[in-house]
Amino acid sequence: MNSEEDFTKIYNAHASKVHRLCLGYASGNTELANDWHQEVFIKVWNHRKSFKGKSAIETWIYRIAVNVCLGDLRKTKKNSPINEELLSNTSIDDNRDDTDKNLKKMYQCIDQLNAQNRALIFLELENTSQAVIADTVGLAHGTLRTRLSRIRKSLLKCIKNGK
């Protein structure tokens, strides 16, 4: 990834997933997610020569994204509240209203998870393979499967019961 052309291909392949990951950490705050997204790819470009190919490029990029998001959250020591404007329903369609309510509830429940569990669930929601997730966060595959199962059960309980 030494040329701008290589970088552009990598950016195009991973930008949307990285943005959604950042958006999840930002609890729907698009402006914050955009800032993090930009910072991630600036770091990818600036540190492109440090990528040795020992893992998949996507694993390396997601690790940078998780570190950028968590680093900024730690630095500011506050989790942004859910962007109500983003999740509000302007349509009269009942199905859309239910979907928006469920999405809002899901973000609220995800916000209650610790930082590592949020990273895990966001990567899984992006359909990232468990092998890549395990490499990204440094967990054994079996440990990851168990943790994801517990996270899903916890989120389901939270969404159903509001706890």
Residue 140's pLDDT is what? 92
Report the domain count for the chain. 1
pLDDT-wise least confident of 29-38, 99-108, 119-128: 99-108
- pLDDT tens digits, one per residue of 31-48: 999 999 999 999 999 998
Q: How far apart are CA 72 and CA 66, in angstroms?
A: 10
Instruction: Say what angle helices 130-137 and 57-76 make with each other, to 10 degrees.
Output: 50
For the chain, the average pLDDT equals: 81
Q: How far apart are CA 109 and CA 123, in angstroms?
A: 16
pTM over 0.75: no
Burial of 56 (0-12, 13-18, 19+ CB in 10 A): middle
Look up the domain containing 104 and give its range: 4-161
pLDDT level of residue 1 (50, 70, 90 thresholds)? low
Phi then psi for 128, rounded to 5 degrees? Answer: -75, 135
- pLDDT tens digits, one per residue of 54-87: 888 988 998 899 889 888 887 765 444 444 444 4
Burial of 127 (0-12, 13-18, 19+ CB in 10 A): exposed
